[in-house]
Amino acid sequence: MIPSFYDKVYKVVSQIPKGKVATYGQIARLAGNSKAYRAVGTAMAKNPDMKTIPCHRVVGSDGAMHGYSAGHGITTKMALLKKEGVKFSGKKVDVSHSQWEK
């Protein structure tokens, strides 16, 4: 069976360690389609298992928060990231310090 793009996205996102973030574009590239960053967002919105697929660790290319369906939305996403040690500059992740290198 050939894995779907979403399956590939979930596999990549499940590898992001605590204290790090990846961008939608980075995930799209690692999943095999660098132009499918919007599809990555849709995959995150449909995340079937938030315990093993840490979708809160996926952010915009400039570190901006985009949607989060758990808890109180973006407020919860930011709190989870801060708890994991992700560095922020205002309301954006400081990607120069916290971006996952893969």
Amino acid in position 37: Y
Instruction: Assess contact for 20 and 99: CB atoms under 8 A.
Output: yes
d(CA 76, CA 56): 9
Tokens standing for residue 83: 């708890």
Hey, which residues are catalytic here?
55
